Amino acid sequence: MKWAYVLYVLYSFESPDLTERQTADIISWGLPFNAMWECVSFYNRYKPDIMTGAETHIIQKHNDSAEIEEAGCVKVFTDGDNTKQGEKVMLYTK
């Protein structure tokens, strides 16, 4: 099983077929870190760019009602088929 510390963004959006808001996440698989402090430091340094990029992405993917609910760093474990979350540091909450 492989592991890495990665950035995550949890967001919500309205779906025309459902009455309740839906939630989804974005995981930065292409930008892994070896330690939580590295991930947190990167987030703090580039927070405006990370949040603007995530917001642009979710609005384009869903609609203008999409909103970031939470963001931060998380340790993830994967075997290729299954992914589990471990230690998590929330750095933004709505």
- List the domain boundaries for the chain: 2-93
Q: In what order do the strands lie in the sheet with 2-13?
A: 22-27, 2-13, 67-78, 83-93
pTM confidence score: 0.88
In the predicted model, is pLDDT for residue 64 greater than 80? yes
In the predicted model, is pLDDT for residue 15 greater than 90? no
The pLDDT-based confidence of 33 (bands split at 50, 70, 90) is very high
Strand partners, 22: 13
**Which of 36-40, 41-45, 63-67 is least confident?**
63-67
> What one-letter code names the amino acid at 5?
Y
